[in-house]
Amino acid sequence: MTRTHFLRAGLLALGVTLFSGCAMHGKGEHHGKGHQMGPSVVFQVSDNDPAKWNLALNNAKNVQNSFGADKVAVEIVAYGPGIGMLKADSPTAARVTEATQAGVKVVACQNTMRAQKLTEADMNTSVGYVPSGVVELMTQQKQGASYIRP
């Protein structure tokens, strides 16, 4: 086998491995539902950018549409600058509320809230809270959730 053929075979094997990894879905329990779910996904949003938030919200909706909202656990974790889009007066407030009403769990990092001197009164009333956004991402991944950062 020539070096070029060997390289192509290696790249093909890598591509197949990566593609099959994308098709794998974690299992976990959807918070608030109390019953075992199929796949679960956690999205990280740490950018104070309405376009990024709209992308994450679109992705969350697409996942629910693909699997069925009652068959997949979807969570969006916001921390750092991304928490700005969870404020009550943010440009994405209506979409965030719509997503939570559709079963998407949207949570704000309390560490970030303290650092930015935000209180729950500043936030969209439909969101939940976690002590640490990064730890929440780690916990969800450990429990088998797929991790996405739009």
For residue 16, what pLDDT is reported? 34
The answer to the question of residue 14 being in a domain is: no
The answer to the question of residue 31 being in a domain is: yes
Strand 105-109 with 73-78, pairing:
parallel
Q: Residue 11: pLDDT band by 50, 70, 90 thresholds?
A: very low
User: pTM of the prediction?
Assistant: 0.76
Q: Residue 3: pLDDT band by 50, 70, 90 thresholds?
A: very low
The answer to the question of residue 16 being in a domain is: no
For residue 141, what pLDDT is reported? 97
The answer to the question of residue 19 being in a domain is: no
The count of domains in the chain is 1
Q: Which domain holds residue 32?
A: 25-148
Rounded (10°) angle between helices 50-67 and 93-101: 20
The answer to the question of residue 104 being in a domain is: yes
Give the C-alpha distances (Å, rounded to integers) separating 85 from 16, 49, 95. 37, 8, 10
The answer to the question of residue 36 being in a domain is: yes
Contacts of 3 (CB under 8 A, 6+ apart): none
Rounded CA separation 29/37 (Å): 5
The answer to the question of residue 88 being in a domain is: yes
At 103, which CATH number? 3.40.1260.10
For residue 38, what pLDDT is reported? 83
For residue 70, what pLDDT is reported? 94
Q: What is the DSSP string of 14-55?
A: HHHHHHHHHH--EEEE-TTT-SEEEEEEEEEE-S--HHHHHH
Q: Residue 110: pLDDT band by 50, 70, 90 thresholds?
A: very high
Q: What is the pLDDT of residues 26-85, one digit of tens each?
A: 333 334 444 446 899 999 999 999 999 999 999 999 999 999 999 999 999 999 999 999
- Are the C-beta atoms of 128 and 32 separated by less than 8 Å? no
The answer to the question of residue 108 being in a domain is: yes
Q: Comparing C-alpha atoms, which of 141, 107, 133, 128 is closest to residue 27?
A: 141
Q: Which two tokens stand for residue 122?
A: 């500043």
For residue 37, what pLDDT is reported? 61
Q: Residue 108: pLDDT band by 50, 70, 90 thresholds?
A: very high
CB atoms within 10 A of CB 119: 8
Q: Does residue 7 have a pLDDT over 70?
A: no
Q: Comparing C-alpha atoms, which of 30, 25, 48, 41 is closest to residue 108?
A: 48
